[in-house]
Amino acid sequence: MTWIDLGNPSPRVDFSVWQPVEWDAHIVELLAVPFDLNLPRFHEVVTSRRSQRSFGTLTSNQLAYFLWLTCRITTSGTDCLGFPITQRPTPSAGAIHPIHILIENERSVWSRYVPESHGLAQIDQASSLLRDLCRKVREVLDPQLGTTLLFVAEPGKTASKYDYAASLVWRDAGILIGHMALVAESLRLNFCPLGITGEPWASELNEQGKLVGVGVALLGSKPVF
């Protein structure tokens, strides 16, 4: 194996101002906020968590609760990098959270999770741009009735604050996926990370080259056999 040295990240002397990707701001659906959570204890979750490879349909509340516990914004801070730094359930280098969560529904329509409003915004061109990705996912592991999650990074956000930022973005992706695995287990959902990155299709979502795929995972309910 050739190990690719991504360099040693360090904060830049002068921060730059990043112009974030402009997504369609139209909110298709505001998601439910959990009010009736009855979760197993943390040590039970950690002990029982396993990657699962069978996927039933997710209810809207199951998806909403999963996203609330993994990706919502709890606190916003300064926007001197060109976008607000935020705190969410997971750690992120510089509180930058450069990874967008894209979700395919049962009608093959892709939406982006909008963490500011805990909602889903449809991405109009994604169905055609990501068709071959869906084929690739099925080659690796059949989503069955479950939902495909695509992790799309905007590395320029992290690079606006750090030199040699690439490994920070990859570590943010790993943290997010590991946290999601625990949250899925606690919500009694089935979850499996995939080794594919989503490339070369994810980067097609932005003509200016600001986006790159950093992972895929499958999520579903526990199917009834």
Cα dihedral 91, 97, 99, 104, rounded to 10, equals: 80
Out of 93, 123, 168, 194, the only residue in the binding site for ligand FMN (CB under 6 A) is 194
Q: How far is the CB of 51 from ligand FMN (least distance, A)?
A: 3
**CA-closest candidate to residue 70, choices 189, 159, 167:** 189
CB nearer to ligand FMN: pick between 93 and 137: 137
Q: How far apart are CA 54 and CA 146, in angstroms?
A: 8
Out of 146, 193, 213, 220, the only residue in the binding site for ligand FMN (CB under 6 A) is 193
CB nearer to ligand FMN: pick between 67 and 141: 141
CB nearer to ligand FMN: pick between 31 and 181: 181
CA distances, 119 to each of 1, 27, 100, 184, 208 (Å):
41, 6, 13, 19, 25
What part of residues 45-104 is at the interface with ligand FMN (CB under 6 A)?
50-51, 53
Out of 141, 150, 152, 169, the only residue in the binding site for ligand FMN (CB under 6 A) is 141
User: How many residues of this chain bind ligand FMN (CB under 6 A)?
Assistant: 9
The pair of three-digit structure tokens given for residue 170, joined into one six-digit string: 């990859």
* CA distance between the termini of the chain: 42
Q: How far is the CB of 166 from ligand FMN (least distance, A)?
A: 17
Out of 192, 205, 214, 219, the only residue in the binding site for ligand FMN (CB under 6 A) is 192
Q: How far apart are CA 161 and CA 147, in angstroms?
A: 33
What is the helix (H) or strand (E) element at residue 132, kind and residue range?
helix 131-140
- The residues binding ligand FMN (CB under 6 A) are 50-51, 53, 140-141, 192-195
